[in-house]
């Protein structure tokens, strides 16, 4: 079954297939609430007037008191504004701005194009990601910006560029040392828990990295992620209602990434005894931390 799911994720290239953490705890206030969570959180246009807090897990949670990444800054632009997904916890906003300044001052880019972060109150999204629910995830486009004065219409129509070759086993000619430098800077930030990127990029960085290789541990291969890389932050200090993902295994992870590449080049035979996975059930309010009902109801 695991093999079938993995193959399906690879074919579809879905960020939604990212590893999930255990179900978040519920409370009596919403334990029997069967309303579909994405419909409620997807309808929230603004953040809650609460203290900034990440609640629950990355794929089963919400966020209180989110901040909105300004649509344009000196070294970044938020993309796809119609999605209203440029909201996050303050730590994520600060991280994105810091990384964009690194890209502009030390990596030779104009800055960064920022893709999806979270909805104003986090929670499940109407389309796309299974994660990005607690305001601690951000997608960074692989496309090096040439302008940071794009109009709203241009941000809707401009597309990023793919870095992959041979279904993600290798990088293509769009991949540059600047991409690696930006990923290395992101992974070296202590606020970062892990970064998802396609397997060929991880192997390319494993092959070129010199000196301290500890940052490679946070770079994790995953299906898709060749138009953008996905940064996931740790739960902020003192965020008792936030659930961290288990840390990556020890080591640089390069042997694991090479196994991913080997399986792309020579896919293992299908398991004749495997059964198709059951369709994923929609998350209801009962699946989320009890505090998320308060986030929805807050002004």
DSSP-derived secondary structure letter, 18: S
Measured between alpha carbons, how far is residue 192 from residues 22, 131, 153, 270 in Å? 20, 16, 32, 35
- CA 136, distance to chain mean position in Å, is 8
Measured between alpha carbons, how far is residue 101 from residues 39, 94, 105, 290, 294 in Å? 36, 11, 6, 38, 36
93 in Cβ contact with 99 (< 8 Å): no
Write down the pTM of the prediction: 0.89
Q: Rounded CA gap, 142 and 144, in Å? A: 6
| pLDDT of amino acid 274 | 87
N-term to C-term CA, the chain: 44
| pLDDT of amino acid 276 | 87
Q: Which two tokens stand for residue 117?
A: 């972060």
Residue 218: how many other CB atoms lie within 10 Å: 23
291 in Cβ contact with 55 (< 8 Å): yes
Structural domains of the chain in order of their starting residue, each with its CATH number:
2-297 (3.30.1380.10)
To the nearest 10 degrees (0 to 180), the angle between helices 254-265 and 199-208 is: 130
| pLDDT of amino acid 29 | 62
Per-residue pLDDT in tens (0 to 9) along the chain, 299 residues: 333 333 334 333 333 344 433 333 344 467 789 999 999 999 999 999 999 999 999 999 999 999 999 999 999 999 999 999 999 999 999 999 999 999 999 999 999 999 999 999 999 999 988 999 999 999 999 999 999 999 999 999 999 999 999 999 999 999 999 999 999 999 999 999 999 999 999 999 999 999 999 999 999 999 999 999 999 999 999 999 999 999 999 999 999 999 999 999 999 998 888 888 888 899 999 999 999 999 999 99
Q: Rounded CA gap, 274 and 135, in Å? A: 36
| pLDDT of amino acid 25 | 39
């Amino acid at each position: 079954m695991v093999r079938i799911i993995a193959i399906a994720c690879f074919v579809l290239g879905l960020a939604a297939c990212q590893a999930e953490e255990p179900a978040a705890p519920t409370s009596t206030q919403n334990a029997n609430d069967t309303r579909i969570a994405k419909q409620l959180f997807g309808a929230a246009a603004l953040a809650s007037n609460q203290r900034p807090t990440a609640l629950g897990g990355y794929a089963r949670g919400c966020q209180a008191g989110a901040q909105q990444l300004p649509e344009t800054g000196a070294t970044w632009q938020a993309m796809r504004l119609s999605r209203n997904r440029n909201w996050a916890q303050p730590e994520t906003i600060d991280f994105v701005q810091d990384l964009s300044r690194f890209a502009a001052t030390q990596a030779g880019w104009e800055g960064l194009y920022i893709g999806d972060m979270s909805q104003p109150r986090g929670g499940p999204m109407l389309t796309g990601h299974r994660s990005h629910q607690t305001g601690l995830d951000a997608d960074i486009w692989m496309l090096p910006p040439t302008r940071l004065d794009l109009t709203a219409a241009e941000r809707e129509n401009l597309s990023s560029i793919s870095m992959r070759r041979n279904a993600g086993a290798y990088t293509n000619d769009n991949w540059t040392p600047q991409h690696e430098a930006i990923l290395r800077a992101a992974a070296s930030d202590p606020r970062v828990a892990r970064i998802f990127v396609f397997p060929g990029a991880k192997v390319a960085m494993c092959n070129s990295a010199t000196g301290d290789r500890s940052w490679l541990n946070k770079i994790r291969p995953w299906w898709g992620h060749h138009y953008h890389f996905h940064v996931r932050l740790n739960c902020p200090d003192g965020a008792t209602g936030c659930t961290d993902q288990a840390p990556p295994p020890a080591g640089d992870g390069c042997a694991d990434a090479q196994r991913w590449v080997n399986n792309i080049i020579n896919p293992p035979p299908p398991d004749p005894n495997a059964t198709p996975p059951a369709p994923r059930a929609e998350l209801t309010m009962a699946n989320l931390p009890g505090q998320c009902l308060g986030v929805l109801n807050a002004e």
